């Protein structure tokens, strides 16, 4: 930047501080020029911005700041909540005017949010109130899996839309991480509910996902020059732009694909040196391995996992611990979760369409819908961070579970836990009239299905303002961490993880065999047709509860038809379907 005579954002702040600090005449000029200073969203300022404001104010102290410490949620961007909490120390004569009336939300939503944020120690005391209608209590809903959670949310949106006849624009689904959008998008598409991703891209339009899909496409059709050009040097393998351009020009001149050139590179005049040719051949050999896996009939999950591992798409990101890199890692893991889920569903349905081609056939439908420009009303999907400052009549907050919300990366300190609590406070107060919080008993994360427990923050909310779904584990005293012990207990899982040596599911030496159904429930099992009868009620780890409506014994492999409460009718192959019998 210096050589180019340019500054990036942090340079602008840093050198403005130096300019004002080291040049009294310049500092005095701007102090006289800006006689009164107003700073909005002061809880989001960083230390450098705080210093600039202090130097511009000088001795006049003609400063007015507006902010809400309860909405300080951007520490990962450098925001420092102590700027607003300690402002009175910097300016002893400071006068505080508390604007405590909320004009947006119902009384019940505000009361619930107040009871939550009251558990934070670092805050400016206030009593936010609403004179709107009392309103409905916040729904807290438990689902069996992230799969059922997504369909449950879609169904609830449909019910509210039919009952209230309001616009889809008045609905928002909020989540802690971007990777959670994939399964939500799928459930909304299946219900023909239009949606938009606010402040980001839909799942299959994200760069890291498109890179992986390009490798998938190449393993099926190596003559796909568009896919080949996208990933031939990603992750970086020393194949420069000049090499790629010469390869593509040679292919065009000879009216063949780039893959045809790579397979017979000695027969074509590419103009490339041997070192460049060797790198191209190494790439060709890797893609040939994936092609062979598809040719011999390996299932989609095996091929996808091999591609993610062999290409180092994931491992190349692991060393970078920035929020952007972590989000990319989560998206790639979620893509593998989608492939695993595809295999599990198809296997239980008795389908033999388990190849990567079959998976991409479904994905292509999703990406086609992503590219459609629609001007109609749509529900909004976004992270809670992106939702700050927005409002909706109906808000659905999903994945409110330990190690997800609060994030596992935010359990090191009490201040980090308190910021996560503020984040949930922001999510709840986006709602004007209806708010639903959901959590799942199991979720596919980091390459495996994990048992989940409800977030400690749910216990922080006064139960008078909550409506619990039937059979909700939330009511069990042993299902939560005591809020008083938040910090001490939050450290325990991290210590336990540090003392365990768990092989990565993406390791090159990982010997993962795809299973028809991943279940966290120990009492789910396979059943014979003689144990079952029509009308019987069962419980499935992914689909939830449902009733058997038909048992088809006509084929060699018995199939059952189940009408599930949330996800609708499913036909399951009995020899693969694991479930628990609830009642006769």
Q: What is the pLDDT of residues 4-48, one digit of tens each?
A: 778 888 999 999 999 999 999 999 999 999 999 999 999 999 999
State the Cα–Cα distance between residues 127 and 335, nearest whole angstrom: 44
What would the DSSP string read from start to end of 505-550?
TT-TT--PPP-S-----TT-B---GGG--TT-EEEETTTEEEEEEE
Q: What is the dihedral of CA 14, 17, 21, 22, to 10 degrees?
A: 50
- What's the pTM? 0.75
> Is residue 522 over pLDDT 70?
no
Neighbours of 532 (CB within 10 A): 18
State the Cα–Cα distance between residues 559 and 571, nearest whole angstrom: 7
Identify the weakest region by mean pLDDT among 333-337, 409-413, 496-500: 496-500
The contacts found for 83-91 with CB under 8 angstroms, 24 or more apart, are: 83/42, 83/43, 83/45, 83/46, 83/47, 83/49, 83/50, 84/42, 84/43, 84/45, 84/124, 85/122, 85/123, 85/124, 87/42, 90/54, 91/61, 91/63
Quick: pLDDT tens for 149-180: 999 999 999 999 999 999 999 999 999 999 89
> Is residue 497 over pLDDT 50?
no
Secondary structure E strands in 319-415: 379-383, 392-397
Tokens of 386: 């992106």
Mean pLDDT of the chain: 86
Quick: pLDDT tens for 447-480: 678 899 999 999 999 999 999 876 666 655 444 4
């Amino acid at each position: 930047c210096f050589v180019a005579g340019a500054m990036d954002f942090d340079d602008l702040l840093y050198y403005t501080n130096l300019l004002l600090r080291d040049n009294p005449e310049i500092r005095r000029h701007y102090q006289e020029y800006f006689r009164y200073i107003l700073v909005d969203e002061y809880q989001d300022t960083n230390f450098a911005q705080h210093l600039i404001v202090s130097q511009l104010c000088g001795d006049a102290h003609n400063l007015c700041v507006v902010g809400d410490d309860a909405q300080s949620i951007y520490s990962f961007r450098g925001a420092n909540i102590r700027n607003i909490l300690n402002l009175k120390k910097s300016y002893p004569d400071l006068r505080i005017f508390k604007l405590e009336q909320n004009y947006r939300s119902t009384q019940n939503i505000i009361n619930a949010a107040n009871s939550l944020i009251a558990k934070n120690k670092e805050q400016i005391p206030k009593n936010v109130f609403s004179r709107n209608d009392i309103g409905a209590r916040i729904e807290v809903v438990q689902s069996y899996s992230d799969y059922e959670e997504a369909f449950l949310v879609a169904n609830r949106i449909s019910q509210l839309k039919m009952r209230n006849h309001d616009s889809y624009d008045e609905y928002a689904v909020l989540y802690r991480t971007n990777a959670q959008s994939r399964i939500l998008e799928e459930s909304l598409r299946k219900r023909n509910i239009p949606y938009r991703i606010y402040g980001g891209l839909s799942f299959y339009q994200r760069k890291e996902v498109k890179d992986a899909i390009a490798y998938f496409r190449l393993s099926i059709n190596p003559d796909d020059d568009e896919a080949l050009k996208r990933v031939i040097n990603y992750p970086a393998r020393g194949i420069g732009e000049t090499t790629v351009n010469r390869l593509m020009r040679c292919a065009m001149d000879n009216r063949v694909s780039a893959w045809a050139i790579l397979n017979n590179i000695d027969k074509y005049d590419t103009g490339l040196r041997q070192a460049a040719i060797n790198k191209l051949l190494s790439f060709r050999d890797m893609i040939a391995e994936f092609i062979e896996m598809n040719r011999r009939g390996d299932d989609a999950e095996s091929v996808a996992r091999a591609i993610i591992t062999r290409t180092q798409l994931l491992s190349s990101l692991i060393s970078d611990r920035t929020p952007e890199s972590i989000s990319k890692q989560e998206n790639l893991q979620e893509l593998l979760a989608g492939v695993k889920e595809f295999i599990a569903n198809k296997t239980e349905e008795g389908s033999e369409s388990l190849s990567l081609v079959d998976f991409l056939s479904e994905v292509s439908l999703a990406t086609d819908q992503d590219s459609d420009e629609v001007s109609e009303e749509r529900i909004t999907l976004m992270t809670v961070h992106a939702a700050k400052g927005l409002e909706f009549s109906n808000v659905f907050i999903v994945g409110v579970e330990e190690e997800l919300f609060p994030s596992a990366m935010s359990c090191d300190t009490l201040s980090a836990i308190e910021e996560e609590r503020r984040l949930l406070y922001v999510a709840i107060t986006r709602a004007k009239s209806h708010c639903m919080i959901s959590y799942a008993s199991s979720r596919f994360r980091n390459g495996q299905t994990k048992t989940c427990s409800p977030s400690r923050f749910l216990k922080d909310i006064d139960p008078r303002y909550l409506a619990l779904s039937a059979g909700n584990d939330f009511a069990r005293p042993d299902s939560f961490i005591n809020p008083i012990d938040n910090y001490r207990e939050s450290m325990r899982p991290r210590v336990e993880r540090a003392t365990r040596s768990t092989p990565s599911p993406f390791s090159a030496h990982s010997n993962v065999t795809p299973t028809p159904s991943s279940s966290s429930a120990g009492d789910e099992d396979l059943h014979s047709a003689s144990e079952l009868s029509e009308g019987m009620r069962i419980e499935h780890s992914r689909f939830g509860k449902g009733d058997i409506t038909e048992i088809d014994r006509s084929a060699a492999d018995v199939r059952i038809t189940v009408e599930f409460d949330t996800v609708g009718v499913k036909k399951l192959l009995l020899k693969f379907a694991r479930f628990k019998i609830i009642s006769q």
